[in-house]
A = this chain, B = another copy of it.
Amino acid sequence: MEVKEKLVKSTDLKSEILKQLYLEKSLSCAEMSTLFNKSIPIITKTINELIEEGFVIEVGYAPSSGGRRPLMYAVKPDAMYIMAIAMDQLSTRITIVDLNNKPVTEIETVEMVLNNNSVALAELISYIDSYIIKSGIKKDNILGIGIGMPGFVSVKDGINYSYLDANGEKLTDYLAKATGLPTYIDNDSSIIALAEQRFGIAKSLTEVMVINLGWGIGLGMIVKGDIFRGYSGFAGEFSHIPVFEDGVLCICGKQGCLEAEASMLVVVKKAIEGIKQGRLSTLHSFIDDPLKLMGDAIFDAANNGDQFVIELLSDAGYKIGKALSILIHIMNPQTIVLSGRGAKAGKIMMAPMQQALNKYCIPRLAANTELLISDLGFDGEIIGAAALVMENFDNEQLAINTKRLNMVKL
């Protein structure tokens, strides 16, 4: 533990400790004292209150580092639960996790198209309600709902400008009213980046760019250790920067977008065309169900040495690499993480990507940036959605839940 010192208001200490314990497996009083720049007595007092209130438990002694062994504290996993929802264009996953991010009931996947679907919002609410009932967990025990979704999401305004219109009302307010639970939304890629920085391969790093390889190519940015959203909340529109001169026409209406040249959707389309034109591939059996192709089949094919698929992924990788070189020039990140549903494809894409970085980056920058593949993979968005709720956990939330836990005791 050599986490950088945090500055917190004394009144926020309690919720901040709980947040920190959610992020770390366990901490000693001394560690928290240095972390929060508070004296040991005040930490001890606060921790004891948290134990008294049922949020924190002792988890034994850590190995000695040359003196008395420190007593470690951790969050009580079942003190509160979080509902985590991960949406994409075609399907939505719902689960409820405990404070160790462990699903307490199985992740449920429902097919729901977002585009031009005026009943999507109503459906989502009904899915949420029935899932909570099925789970057997009392609503009072759920801290809130975190949702990752594609589109132009403004966290500040609580609105997704692309999907799930709530008749002009704040989507977060609308969902909170409908479900009776505090609701937080964010862009899927941002949420995946949050998961990678809090619990994944980029844990505790401060400058991280996370590429969300889904049907499209998303970017989640971690700047100075936190999600970066830009001024109006639309930062990271990576896939629509003009990289290729006179390229394919993109759905966004412009030419030369990365997404129109190198997304998984494009790879699949090219695969279908190629197979139809007689190219040999193990994927020919999927040709009638192209959208399901993505479901690991394409990566499995690549991993099994399917030449055609490898060729297609390599080409996409090189193009993404060229765009990444632009990103690196501007952001100079420590790490780039390939994550999201298609993270597996990252393995095949990595070599051509690195090749493009070497070609298009100033050497000093290429040398200072490492390219990694997520180990969270498809779970990233779920974990990120849960983490989003805890990001917003504050004293107010704590007070509500303290009351609740005390009520239960009586």
Contacts and interface: CB of A to CB of B under 8 A. Distances in A.
Interface of A: 7-9, 37, 152, 161, 206-207, 219, 223-224, 228-238, 240-245, 252, 254, 322, 325-327, 329-334, 360, 362, 364-365, 368
A334 B252 CA distance: 22
B332 A330 contact: no
A248 to B, nearest CB: 14
B8 A365 contact: no
Copies of this protein in the assembly total 2
Contacts of A234: 332, 364-365, 368
18 contacts: A152-B364, A207-B231, A219-B330, A223-B223, A223-B224, A224-B228, A230-B331, A230-B333, A231-B332, A231-B333, A232-B368, A233-B332, A234-B365, A237-B362, A241-B325, A241-B326, A244-B245, A330-B330
Contacts of A362: 237, 240, 252, 254
Q: Of A229, A245, A252, A326, which is in contact with the most chain B CB atoms at under 10 Å from its CB?
A: A326
A223 B227 CA distance: 12
Contacts of A207: 230-231
Nearest to A356: B242
Contact of A326 (B9, B245, B326): B326
Given A207-B231, A229-B332, A334-B231, A365 B223 contact: no
A238 B325 contact: no
Nearest to A368: B232
A330 to B, nearest CB: 6
Contact of A325 (B232, B242, B322): B242
B152 A232 contact: no
Contacts of A152: 364
A367 to B, nearest CB: 9
A232 B331 contact: no
A163 B190 CA distance: 38
Given A207-B230, A237-B329, A330-B236, A8 B9 contact: no
Contacts of A224: 223-224, 228
Q: Of A9, A161, A330, which is in contact with the most chain B CB atoms at under 10 Å from its CB?
A: A330
Contacts of A252: 362
Nearest to A335: B231
A256 to B, nearest CB: 9
A231 to B, nearest CB: 4
A362 B240 CA distance: 8
Contacts of A228: 223-224
A214 to B, nearest CB: 18
A240 B360 CA distance: 9
Q: Of A229, A242, A334, which is in contact with the most chain B CB atoms at under 10 Å from its CB?
A: A242
Contacts of A230: 207, 331-333
B365 A242 contact: no
A232 B363 CA distance: 13
Q: Of A219, A327, A333, A364, which is in contact with the most chain B CB atoms at under 10 Å from its CB?
A: A364
Nearest to A37: B9
